[in-house]
Amino acid sequence: MATTTKVSALPLDYKATQKPRTLWGDAWRRFRKHLLAMLGSTALIIIMLGITFGPLIWTLDPTYIDIVDSFSGMTAEHPFGTDNLGRDTLARVLYGGRVSLAIGVVAMLIGILIGTLVGLLAGYFKFLDSPLMRLTDMFLSLPLLPLLLVITLLFRDSLRVTFGPELGIFILTVIVIGCLGWMPTARLVRGEVLSMKEREFVVAARSLGAPDFRIVRNHILPNVLSPVIVSATFSIASAIITESALSFLGLGFPPDFPTWGRLLFDGKDFLTLTPALVLWPGLMISLTVLCVNFIGDGLRDALDPRITK
Amino acid sequence: MKKPVLKIGALVAVLLLLTGTLGGVFAQDGETVTILYWQAVSNMNPYLSGGTKEIDAASLVLEPLARYDETATMIPWLAVEIPTVENGGISEDLMSITWKLKEGLLWSDGTPVTSADAVFTWTYCTTEETGCAQVANWTDVTNVEAVDDLTVKVSFGVPKPFPYGPFVGSTSPLIQKAQFEACVGVAAQGCTEQNFGPIGTGPYVVEEFRANDVVTYTANPNYREEGKPFFQRVILKGGGDAESAARAVLETGEADYAWNLQVLPQVLASMEAAGIGTIMNVTSSAVERIHINQTNPDPALGDARSVWAEDGSNAHPFLTNPAVYQALSMAIDRQVIAEQVYGPGGVPTCNLVAQPPIYASSANDSCLQQDMEGAKALLDEAGIVDTDGDGVRELNGVPLRILYQTSTNAVRQANQALVKQWWDELGVETELRNIDAGVFFGGDPASPDTYGKFYADVEMFTNTFDGTDPESYMAQQQCSEVSGPDNNWLGNNVSRWCNAAYDELFAQLSQTVGLEARAEIVKQLNDMYVQGGGIIPLINRADVSARANSLEGVRMNAWDAELWNIADWTRAQ
């Protein structure tokens, strides 16, 4: 990574005892001081560890029906209780978390990748600006849900045959959500790039004869990272929620396949009877989204050298 | 700076006022009865709407000559008696039926009811441009004539063993000639005043009709029975959903009656525990069933997917095998489904025709008990075993993998999950799919997800029939009814099940007279269809409604309008 601080002005003996400071080192130092961000990361890591290794420890099958034990309260046998068919809520929440988080992260990566690329190109190259931004407008004006329905209808069967029902729908869902969620990122990035490319250091780099690719990579991209990271956090949240909506409309995963959104929708009918069915998946969705937002907040502060406390 | 505060204050005041008036509307008293139909009423003319809600709403005002009571017995209503061959009301050759009106009947505007009104009702509904929704009641009717002021004769073009279509039941009531005379044909839809406030003979008259919202009725001053109805006003409120309607009657007591409560039994039971309302179930002929696709739904087939071929060339690779569909049925524990998923509203059944009892066959009752071991043995004997060790049985190298679709509804998804567990245990891998009800039942020929297209191996839904005679219901399983591209996937035979012997026997049914003989044929048809693997019947569903405990005299009816005896309802003191 590029070093931005020259340390030659410091006293010689000081320099010998201190490691050179880097952009990322500084960022990490600032990030650690951000209390909420650290709390968020800790909680998210715990959730991630839980859903990754939890099912190995809590080995109940999330789809196993034990009708005799329906609506069980929080017992040692079922710490989170059971649903109307006697399926264990803890196992379902753990298993559902894998799917929901995987969808959130992968869809976010796809969206961010496309969004950043479009934003950089539109902001940096004037001749691409207008066509790319009109494309973005066009995507923004597309009604998301009907489009999702049509795409799922068209490609569901062929993907199901190729990859099986679960993986097929996973691929379809993340691609569709990712490809329809890049527009806000693209707009943000373009705006930042537009202001950035008039800055002195970019003008300096250009006057030194640096090629466009290097200017974008070394000077502009690191400086537009903070809005990208913030919108990435929002993308994860909205991807989890969009997947829930799809499942509810019957175009997502099979109805017995647990995801957090599906558990929430299934549980809402029993809100007065056994609130735990809604409480746990709801809590997990909120907690995850909150954590990711705190982390985004912390990262933004940490990565922006202009914000100093 | 004060303006926003003022605005908020005004808003709060308006909201308070609104809730205040609503509270007033819903208050229980001896004068008014409040009924909730969570699907709102759009019209008061049953001839212009096929919806249950419109037919029920109109039944307070418009009445037929005869109707079915809650035991499915036909009783005379505006007629003196039920015409039969024995009492001379039906001609010996079964070509005509003669009805006699009660004497002294008055419309709510005070004018007398005559046979001319009956003749007019026939003209109104059978004039093509009217767009009458109940035209099926007049099948084969060639003429309706007024013999005298109180006698109506209906003539048929063919012998009619069951001539009780016209003027029987809530879908065929009398309308007043004087009021609707100008509304025949193309003018029918435009007659808003008539369609929203028909003049009738029933216990109530429409006071105010707000389409898709509220209907307010007041007692009919000219009602034929002295001292009835008990309630001076009826408010029929539409909108909301089943769960909140149930809550309003069972938990908060805001309303007296709530219709069609499709809510999970555990939720309903928890509401009933509040102790101010009662859940009512009445047996109906509705059967929740799994249809078995007789054709191959493989996506690789393209346009030939799920299309029936007469030579059997596109048959399903394994579901037409008797061992397979019998085993699938045996593996299901219908008792558990009935108790856990449908609650008191469901009874296990093994038949297509489960009600009325006289038509219900007992030949298939072995399915009422789950027999997992028997099902496994059946498949083993037929050589359908797991040969490659993946836990899924194969028939001729084709693994038994099933795509099982239905509409999105908490009750159905619970049902699906249970069946999947049993079938997986049997060695039949099951994949579930749920489709939005609007799409699934929508009938759009362009959508791949409709129940008629049936791009799945099995699918589940409920079907039923009106009234008590299942003839038209049995007609749906004929080869000519097979759903396919030629009828825009709207054919009634969604299983694509075709059996020449069935068609022959059905032809006999339509010419058979006498309840016993007809019932015998219906049972045989039912057995042919069920044993031939057209469907796996699951549950005979009941109609579920709720009433306030203070409301007395309610006799819920699944064979006619649910509110048929509202004139007898009273409030407990």
Q: Distances in Å between the alpha carbon of B417 and those of A82, A218, B268, B412?
A: 15, 55, 21, 9
Dihedral sign for Cα A139, A142, A143, A144, please: negative
Put simply, the answer to whether B299 touches A161 (Cβ < 8 Å) is yes
Please answer yes or no on whether B431 and A266 come within 8 Å at the CB atom.
no
Of A297 and A211, which is predicted with more confidence?
A211
The pLDDT score that the predictor gives to residue A8 is: 54
Angle between helices A89-124 and A221-248 (to 10 degrees): 140
pLDDT at A73: 78
Measured between beta carbons, which residues in chain A are less than 8 angstroms from residue B435?
Answer: 250
Q: How far apart, in whole angstroms, are the C-alpha atoms of residue B69 and residue B170?
A: 11
**Distance, CA of B272 to chain centre:** 25
Angle, helices B265-272/B242-250, rounded to nearest 10 degrees? 20
**Taking 50 as the threshold, does the pLDDT of residue A309 lie above it?**
no
Q: Which residues of A touch B410 (CB under 8 A)?
A: 266, 269
Interchain CB distance below 8 Å, B266 and A84: yes
Nearest to B349 by CA among B341, B361, B340: B361
Quick one: three-class SS letters along B151-213? EEEEEECCCCCCCCCCCECCCCCCCCHHHHHHHCHHHHHHCHHHHHCCCCCCCEEEEEECCCC
Q: How far apart are CA B351 and CA B539, in angstroms?
A: 9
Residue B8: predicted pLDDT: 59
Non-local CB neighbours of B388 within 8 Å, separated by 6+ positions:
B394
Which of the two residues, B133 and A307, has the higher pLDDT score?
B133
- Domains of chain B (ranges; CATH) run 27-276+549-571 (3.40.190.10), 283-302+314-386+393-466+529-542 (3.10.105.10)
Which chain A positions have a beta carbon within 8 Å of B421's beta carbon? 63-65
Q: What are phi and psi of A45, to 5 degrees?
A: -65, -40
Name the pLDDT band for A137 (thresholds 50, 70, 90): very high
- With contacts defined as CB-CB under 8 Å, which chain B residues touch A161? 299-300
Mean pLDDT, to the nearest integer, of A67-74?
79
Nearest-Cα distance to chain A for B361, in Å, is: 30
Check residues B249 and A285 and name the one with the higher pLDDT: B249
CB contact (8 A) between residue B264 and residue A84: yes
pLDDT of residue B24: 42
Q: Tens digit of pLDDT for each residue in B400-440?
A: 999 999 988 788 888 999 999 999 999 999 999 888 777 78
pLDDT tens by residue, A229-278: 878 877 887 887 788 777 766 667 888 888 888 888 888 778 878 888 88
Here the tokens at position A127 are 């001749």
pLDDT score recorded for residue B221: 92
Give the residue from chain B lying closest to A271, CA to CA. B267
Provide the 3-class DSSP secondary structure of residue B444: coil
Q: What is the pLDDT of residues B210-247, one digit of tens each?
A: 988 899 999 999 999 888 889 999 999 987 778 889 99
Tokens representing B378 are 């059946």
pLDDT digits (tens, 9 = 90+) for B88-100: 899 988 899 999 9
Name the band, by pLDDT with cuts 50, 70 and 90, for residue A13: low
Q: pLDDT by residue (tens digit) across B288-339?
A: 999 999 999 998 888 899 999 988 899 999 999 999 999 999 999 999 999 8
> With 90 as the cut, is the pLDDT of residue B536 above it?
yes
Determine whether the interchain pair A255/B264 forms a contact, defined as Cβ–Cβ distance below 8 Å.
Answer: no
Angle at which helices A23-33 and A276-303 pack, to 10 degrees?
Answer: 130
Using CA coordinates, name the residue in chain A closest to B449.
A153
Phi, psi of B7 (to 5 degrees): -60, -50
pLDDT cut 70: percent of chain A above it: 91
Cα–Cα distances in Å, from B163 out to A308, B507, B517? 90, 17, 16
- For residue B297, the chain A residues in CB contact (below 8 A) are none
Question: Mean pLDDT, to the nearest integer, of B167-181?
Answer: 91
Cβ proximity of B288 and B406 under 8 Å: no
Cβ-based neighbours of B56, under 8 Å, separated by 6 or more: B37, B170, B259, B561, B562, B563
What's the rounded Cα separation, in Å, for the pair A53 and A58?
9
Higher-confidence position of A195 and B19: A195
- With residues binned 3-state (H G I as helix, E B as strand, rest as coil), the percentages for chain B, rounded to 5, are 35, 20, 45
Whether A269 and B433 lie within 8 Å, measured CB to CB: no
Shortest Cα–Cα distance, A300 to chain B (Å): 36
Asked whether the beta carbons of residue B340 and residue A158 sit closer than 8 angstroms, the reply is no
Cβ–Cβ gap B413/A255 under 8 Å = yes
pTM comes to 0.77
Token digits of residue B482:
């097979």
List CB contacts (< 8 A) between B264 and chain A: 84, 269-270
Nearest one of B538, B568, B540 to B553, comparing CA atoms: B568
Task: Please answer yes or no on whether B414 and A269 come within 8 Å at the CB atom.
Answer: no
Q: Does ipTM come in above 0.85?
A: no
Domain spanning A86-303: CATH superfamily:
MetI-like (1.10.3720.10)
Tell whether the model's pLDDT for residue B101 goes beyond 60: yes
- Which residue has tokens 């309903």? B268
Identify all chain A residues contacting B432, using CB atoms and an 8 Å cutoff: 254-256
**Residue B16 has which token pair?**
């308070």
Measured between beta carbons, the chain B residues lying within 8 angstroms of A245 are: none
What is the DSSP secondary structure assignment for residue B10, as one 8-state letter? H
Tokens (6 digits) for B144 = 């309706």
Every domain of chain A and the residues it spans: 86-303
pLDDT band at B23 (very low <50, low <70, confident <90, very high): very low
Chain B nearest-CA distance from A284, in A, is: 22
Task: Tell me which residues of chain B have a C-beta less than 8 Å from any C-beta of chain A.
Answer: 243, 263-264, 266-267, 270, 299-300, 336, 340, 408, 410, 413-414, 416-418, 420-421, 431-436, 439, 447-449, 455
